Amino acid sequence: MLDQAQFLISSVDYINNVIFSVDSGYQRGKAASTASPSTIRYAVIIIDSVNKLLDPQATALRNISLHVTKGEALAIIGRAGAGKSTLLRCINMLARPDSGRVVVDGRDLTALSGHDLRLGQREIGMVLDRDNLLSNRTVRDNIALPLEFKGSQNIGIRAQLDMLINLLDLGEIEYAYPSDVTRVQRQRVAIARALATTPKVLLCDDATSGLDPEDTKSILSLLKVINAAFGVTLVLVSKDLQVVKEIADRVAVLDHGNLWNLAVRLMCSQSLRMR
């Protein structure tokens, strides 16, 4: 019987063989400890030897090293409990690593705290599997929330809201309340809210969970537009391998807190997006 790690790697073999090839900087079952200088030079996210303990008996992440370049779409997959969401939360410092570094857009977030850390976190948007909209605020006011926290001027808030509502096709519901709109519309609002402060990185933690195939396709199309039009770097966690196939430039496989595989899209793939 295959152990969990072998099963995981087998489960993405069709991705590696059809769309992706194994990154020469990584080995199956063991991540390379260093990346090339050229990779680091263009990286908007640098995860360097990150470890995270949940408690003394449970390790969520083990010596994870990973670099994500500007405008890239990286998918992270793995079994439940593999460490996928913990890794996302370490990127935006909602979970602070016990050791190692997380650098986003040139800032070492692990060396920051208080106001300086909050400034760095503004470069990172996050969309969860639940939209977490405030029920007593309209769609427009939910999107405005990060800008209000940031202290933006009213005229700047209005301009940004108008742009996002147009981009995400929310004009018909901008004054509606979350209880009055559909699940996929609420997820679009959550994406707009995550983009309100014009982040350089967008983290998506199972953002299409619970959506039907048609709604999933619409959210993925929207994320592609955001990635292409604004150069926003995407890091996505998903249980759906079709999502990975549709949007990812690379896929990372986690199991028991270990990075087991990192694959890159083949240049010959017909579905390759120009970068």
The ranges assigned to domains in the chain are 4-123+199-265, 132-198
Please tell me the predicted confidence (pLDDT) of residue 20. 57
pLDDT greater than 60 at residue 271: no
pLDDT digits (tens, 9 = 90+) for 29-65: 444 344 555 556 678 999 999 999 987 778 899 999 9
Instruction: Find the mean pLDDT for residues 141-156.
Output: 87
Please tell me the predicted confidence (pLDDT) of residue 56. 72
Task: Supply the DSSP string of 175-239, one letter for each residue.
Answer: TS-GGGS-HHHHHHHHHHHHHTT--SEEEEESTTTT--HHHHHHHHHHHHHHHHHH--EEEEE-S
Q: Considering only 65-69, 228-232, 267-271, which range has the smallest mean pLDDT?
A: 267-271
What does pTM read for this prediction?
0.83
pLDDT greater than 90 at residue 205: yes
Percent of the chain with pLDDT over 70: 81
pLDDT greater than 90 at residue 211: no
Please tell me the predicted confidence (pLDDT) of residue 18. 46
Query: Which superfamily does CATH assign the domain made up of 4-123+199-265 to?
Result: P-loop containing nucleotide triphosphate hydrolases (3.40.50.300)
Cα(60)–Cα(243) distance, rounded to whole angstroms?
A: 24
pLDDT greater than 50 at residue 195: yes
Which DSSP category does 240 fall into? -
Beta strands in the chain (DSSP E): 20-22, 43-55, 58-69, 73-77, 99-104, 107-108, 124-127, 201-205, 233-237, 250-255, 258-265
Cα(269)–Cα(88) distance, rounded to whole angstroms?
A: 28
pLDDT greater than 80 at residue 209: yes
Please tell me the predicted confidence (pLDDT) of residue 46. 96
Cα(194)–Cα(103) distance, rounded to whole angstroms?
A: 20
Instruction: Find the mean pLDDT for residues 88-108.
Output: 95
The more confident residue out of 245 and 153 is 245
pLDDT digits (tens, 9 = 90+) for 65-96: 999 999 999 999 988 888 999 999 999 999 99
Cα(208)–Cα(243) distance, rounded to whole angstroms?
A: 8
Contact assessment for residue 239 and residue 247, using Cβ atoms and an 8 Å cutoff? no
Average pLDDT over the chain, rounded to an integer: 83
- Positive/negative CA dihedral, 26, 21, 274, 226: negative
Which DSSP category does 138 fall into? -
Half-sphere exposure of residue 84: CA atoms within 13 angstroms, side-chain side: 24
Contact assessment for residue 263 and residue 25, using Cβ atoms and an 8 Å cutoff? no
Instruction: Find the mean pLDDT for residues 224-232.
Output: 91
Instruction: Find the mean pLDDT for residues 169-180.
Output: 95
Instruction: Find the mean pLDDT for residues 257-272.
Output: 62
Please tell me the predicted confidence (pLDDT) of residue 262. 76
pLDDT greater than 60 at residue 196: yes
pLDDT greater than 90 at residue 245: no
